[in-house]
Structure 1
């Protein structure tokens, strides 16, 4: 009986070793095919302030310059050698808005300037991203602020009748068939890129759901 069991186990092992190369090469083929189509081979690996925001409460300083520099240093020392290289600064990084309805960084959270923080993260060999949601702010619409570099204003590009652009009903939806709409989004992307930001976590982009996606500031449309 023992010999029969041993013989059976040997047969199973031989079958497994025979099938492994086929399974391996089959998976590798699919990965190569995905790469040819521009799909990522792995998720973004790094750290995001989001979870701390959820649990630290409204008085937390999870996105402060000092704390983010500490996170960057810790990642460089402990995790970077294992492929972790992204730092995402989630909601709460910005102040109110500039004269063109675009979100500037908070001067309170980043007293030495946001570019100083971005340079620090880059010097640690990492990439930095920030969080945005779609649409134009209700305050910008009410003030009918001008759109940078154009003759248009916020009320020219809002979808009518007015309706929410995001899951939380914070902003108004933009009608991209209207002149000035794409220029408004481009002006935000150009501003963010001018700070040296590498990517954007763009939230609430699926109707009815708070689902996130990432888009490069160099390719955002």
Structure 2
């Protein structure tokens, strides 16, 4: 993948993704695609440019010929890949699942969280189903908890207690994704500095 990070639009912003999905008449949830990519990366997978574009378009429901003819879509997908991998590798632990902000109802955010976790689990299973059986107890526990979270009940009314629970679950998912990433990905060596 080429380096698109410097020219990235706000790719951690759900609204940017939602507008992009709408403009391409995508029928899937943006959070699910982001979760799927994160699951693959966390399990140690790396995708070639064409492989990722094809996978993303398939999940979005965008015809391959539309994707091949759109520089805008190609740039978006390539940038998403690079930015997401960089966020997961970052030592500042600033990685966040792609979810709507609190202007959306709690129910909409729960649906998005559930979609993200489903995508994450699917992506992880595709890349490391055998390795997961040999993973540490901590990782297996995270995976089991995420399975439960992916089936979270919808129809939650906005309330202070609901908000607090949502934020706790979201933080657990965020840290859990990074835990899995740490398990399956060797640390990136720091850039070498030469002394003169």
Q: TM-score, normalised by structure 2?
A: 0.30
Flag the structure with higher strand content.
1
Greater radius of gyration (CA): 1
Q: TM-score, normalised by structure 1?
A: 0.27
Flag the structure with higher helix content.
2
